[in-house]
Amino acid sequence: MSFGPLRKVSDPPIKVIRVYPVTPVSSVVKIFVHGSSQRNRLFGREFTELSLGGRVPFEWTNVSATACGRQDASTYQLPLHWIRFAMSTDADVIVIGAGVSGLAAAAALTKSGRKVLILEARDWLGGRVLTRQDPVCQAPIEFGAEFIHGLAPGIWKPFQKRNVNISEVAGDNWCCEGGTLSSCDFFSEVEDILEKMDDRSPDESFASFLQRCFPDSKQNTKQQAAKERALEYVSGFNAADPELVGVHWLVKGMRAEEEIEGDRAFRPATGYACLIDIFLDELSHADVSIQTGTVVEEIEWEHGHSTVKAHSPEGVRNFTAPRTIVTLPLAVLQAAPPELGAVRFIPSLPEPKLKALTKLEMGKVIRVVLRFRHRFWDTISPRSKRSKTLAGMSFLFSQDQWFPTWWTTLPSKLPIITGWAPFRSAERLSGRDRSFVVAHSLQSLGALVDIAAQDLEPLLEAAYFHDWQSDPFSRGAYSYGKVGADGAQEALASPVEDTLFFAGEATDTTGRNGTVDGAIASGRRVTAEILRCTRPHHATQK
Ligand SMILES: Cc1cc2nc3c(=O)[nH]c(=O)nc-3n(C[C@H](O)[C@H](O)[C@H](O)COP(=O)(O)OP(=O)(O)OC[C@H]3O[C@@H](n4cnc5c(N)ncnc54)[C@H](O)[C@@H]3O)c2cc1C
């Protein structure tokens, strides 16, 4: 990224209308400005500390555009009082949560002339879409979502409209069994088993389905191996407990995947944050205010009126609007006040919604991204196949107890590899400090590719991870349906008295829970629900 010379803007045709950080810690603040000559341009700057809601405790230095791969060499210095001006809270609809679903809903509502106020607990936007740039490789590092699963139009359209470069995941799959690495066709083996599930018989857990369909697999080693891979798949990709996850929910997901070629996976070249930039860019033309660092604690509602009480950098504040969209992650909705992030509804949510909450579960994942000095696996030849190296490796599957799944960045040949610790492994790692997580990831990777962890350590240059389970504003990775969850997403999604509306990946009713495209679909659905029952109306801040 190039920074141009600092330019003082003293004439006020430029008016800052919103300010927000888009990534955590040493991240970039993006500012939308508008004015006679600068209409709707996007700027960003590095910062170390930021407090929104009226105070921005840093000096402006380098400010430059970083939206979606586009760069703007101009830099600006902006007076702080313009930033304070940004904090307008007048709205028709309050959106709680600035993840993909909240931003998608806000973008669509504002397009239809509604004023929107977004309240976000964290100091970054995008929720479980969280990308940072690796300074050495200049490559995106994902802490949350990484893959575009299949060709869901809801997610492809925005990318295509902006000509975002998207690459399909490529390479070979390897499996490590009993310490031996061999290339494997992991997905087709698993598919053979998954295809036997059906949703016409009574619902049961995936573990019980496996037991019922393959009771004697211990005598049949091939079948036993396939069964174990199927378990790895469900606990790995769905981050689900096989004893809890419902076959009906899995079947619904598989059907939805078939419609979009969900077995194909892609990545946006500049990282998933690009999608957040696209929404923010759309919002830059709109009547919207975003308040970060604002933790919603209570929603008091009656027909046609909602008061949202939140803890903001300026203390406790109440926001009112005729309608509120709740996009809280499932486990945050399930949490009981006064736990941080949990929200008290007054009066309480209707019984069917509370029941739906008991039928859904938050999957757990710890992912760690490791950058090495070089791609050391390029020269590793597994004992089973000396003629082939791991240079073309995409995924590596195993039953390692800490990080059973790994993947490289192919087709990009970067010295970066990602470890994936789902379900039980995530439970063991959650809440542990960084050195514990990184040490175990090195141990796992080393054991799988037959290199001692102490030999890998000197090659490691950077490690990235975020503990989504211990984060009070996600409390897990993504949702799944338990046995008997038929209709639970619909119940969770359904509006309450045309006043409270519900979006977020867990409320997706199309079989795409736990994905970014599911979150977008829920944002679009909730927008349609609101537009059906509203005329523009304004909110006030007390
Ligand atoms: C490790 C990991 C890997 C993933 N990989 C993929 C992938 O490869 N592909 C894919 O499609 N999906 C993936 N996902 C799932 C995907 O990221 C989510 O489904 C999607 O981002 C959810 O969007 P959302 O808007 O529903 O929720 P969120 O993004 O969680 O947004 C909810 C927002 O609400 C805010 N909030 C919470 N509590 C409060 C409160 N009390 N007050 C105010 N705000 C609050 C949160 O801070 C958050 O910003 C992954 C997720 C994780 C964690």
Question: What is the CATH classification number for the domain harbouring 392?
Answer: 3.90.660.10
The strand pairing partners of 40, in sequence order, are none
CB contact at 8 A, 447 and 400: yes
162 shares a domain with 193: no
Q: Residues with Cβ < 8 Å from 135, sequence gap 6 or more?
A: none
279 shares a domain with 354: yes
Tokens read off for 174: 């390897």
Assigned domain for 472 exists: no
Assigned domain for 153 exists: no
Cα(513) to ligand 1 centroid in Å equals 11
Host domain of residue 225: 186-265
Q: What percent of the chain has pLDDT over 70?
A: 81
Q: Return the best residue to mutate from 290, 478, 524, 526 for the ligand 1 pocket (most ligand atoms within 8 A of CB).
A: 478
Assigned domain for 516 exists: yes
Domain end (from 465, 499, 531)? 465
Segment (H or E) for 358: helix 351-359
375 shares a domain with 287: no
Q: Consecutive sets of 10 residues in the chain, 542 residues long: mean pLDDT of each? A: 28 34 33 33 30 32 32 36 40 96 96 93 92 91 97 94 94 90 84 90 96 81 84 93 97 95 94 90 80 93 96 88 97 97 98 98 98 96 79 95 97 97 96 96 96 93 96 98 98 98 97 97 98 68 54
36 shares a domain with 124: no
352 shares a domain with 296: yes
CB burial of residue 75 (10 Å; 0-12, 13-18, 19+)? buried
487 shares a domain with 461: no
Domain end (from 230, 265, 300)? 265
Q: Return the best residue to mutate from 128, 326, 344, 501 for the ligand 1 pocket (most ligand atoms within 8 A of CB).
A: 128
Assigned domain for 180 exists: no
C-beta 514 within 6 A of ligand 1: yes
353 shares a domain with 281: yes
Phi, psi of 49 (to 5 degrees): -150, 135
- Eight-class DSSP state of 31: E
The strand pairing partners of 65, in sequence order, are 72
Q: Give 303-312 pLDDT, tens digit per residue.
A: 999 999 999 8
Separation between Cα atoms, residue 360 and residue 479, nearest integer Å: 7
Separation between Cα atoms, residue 505 and residue 375, nearest integer Å: 35
Angle ∠(119,123,127) on CA atoms, nearest 5: 70
Cα(127) to ligand 1 centroid in Å equals 5
Assigned domain for 498 exists: yes
440 shares a domain with 387: yes
Residue of 532, 27, 499, 477 lying closest to 237 (CA atoms): 477
Assigned domain for 178 exists: no
User: Ligand 1, closest atom to CA 104?
Assistant: 25
Counted domains in the chain: 4
Cα(92) to ligand 1 centroid in Å equals 24
Assigned domain for 286 exists: yes
User: Ligand 1, closest atom to CA 297?
Assistant: 41
1 shares a domain with 83: yes
Q: Give 68-83 pLDDT, tens digit per residue.
A: 333 333 333 343 333 3
The domain spanning residue 291 has which CATH number?
3.50.50.60
457 shares a domain with 405: yes
Domain end (from 435, 465, 495)? 465
Predicted local confidence at residue 224, as pLDDT: 83
C-beta 474 within 6 A of ligand 1: yes
C-beta 516 within 6 A of ligand 1: yes
Assigned domain for 273 exists: yes
291 shares a domain with 215: no
Predicted local confidence at residue 216, as pLDDT: 76
Q: Of all protein residues, whose CA lies closest to atom 33 belonging to ligand 1?
A: 97
355 shares a domain with 291: yes
Predicted local confidence at residue 226, as pLDDT: 83
Which amino acid, residue 69?
G
User: Ligand 1, closest atom to CA 341?
Assistant: 41
C-beta 365 within 6 A of ligand 1: yes
- Examine residue 338 and say whether the peptide bond preceding it is cis (omega within 30 degrees of 0): yes
Predicted local confidence at residue 290, as pLDDT: 85
